[in-house]
Chain A
């Protein structure tokens, strides 16, 4: 089975800190995605990547950046964490237009 692993299940950071959320997949998928999920708002796409060193903005990229230096790893970066970035963050990967596999999520709290 494809595995998408997110480095932390729970994370607490202070306002203004630089935060790295890591995501690794083990099936050589080209596409990787970052979403955040908030009550009542569903899943919202932050950034996605179709290949190494490629990135595309999703619907809510403000305050975030991403890095994809290797095919299996897609990092989400909060340059200066703010309390409104407290959320559940979900990473996903897929092969071309096939189905997506999601990680278990990272619940980030910014205090």
Chain B
């Protein structure tokens, strides 16, 4: 079973920030938090990952709660190309996916 919980869907307006939440209350001390996204008709692609500290890259930011039981993927300015299913995963020796969050971006 997936170890993470995400909302089924979210909507955003273009050019606005988006905060995608993920709960992982059973996370262990060595689990990395990974985020992937899947665009239509493509395989999932890596977005970002972190362990304890907040992380930034060119695609997004990852904010990790102090107790590590939740995290938030932040898209600073959503574009139409960001419409996808976003998956939050705990990375141990194998990776189970949940259903993810389907992000809709409105023009």
Give residues 54-107 of B contacting A (CB, 8 Å): 87, 91-100
Chain B residues, CB < 8 A from A35: 97
A58 to B95, alpha carbons, bound, how many Å? 10
Chain B residues, CB < 8 A from A90: 43-44
Interface of B is mostly: loop
Q: Given A42-B100, A104-B43, verify A97-B93 contact (CB < 8 Å).
A: yes
Cβ B42 vs Cβ A48 within 8 A: no
Count of chain A residues near B, Cβ 8 A:
24
Chain A residues, CB < 8 A from B93: 50, 97
Cβ A43 vs Cβ B44 within 8 A: yes
B9 to chain A, nearest CB (A): 13
Q: Given A97-B32, A97-B91, verify A103-B96 contact (CB < 8 Å).
A: no
Cβ A45 vs Cβ B43 within 8 A: no
Cβ B36 vs Cβ A42 within 8 A: no
Give residues 24-66 of A contacting B (CB, 8 Å): 33, 35, 40-45, 48, 50, 56, 58-59
Q: Given A97-B32, A97-B92, verify A102-B45 contact (CB < 8 Å).
A: yes
Chain A residues, CB < 8 A from B94: 33, 45, 48, 56, 58
> Can you report 27 A-B residue pairs in the complex whose CB atoms are below 8 A from each other?
A4-B43, A33-B94, A33-B95, A35-B97, A40-B99, A41-B99, A42-B2, A42-B98, A42-B99, A43-B97, A44-B97, A45-B95, A45-B97, A48-B94, A50-B93, A56-B94, A59-B96, A92-B95, A99-B46, A100-B36, A100-B44, A100-B46, A101-B46, A102-B44, A102-B45, A104-B43, A105-B43
Which A residues form the contact surface with B (CB < 8 A)? 4, 33, 35, 40-45, 48, 50, 56, 58-59, 90, 92, 97, 99-105
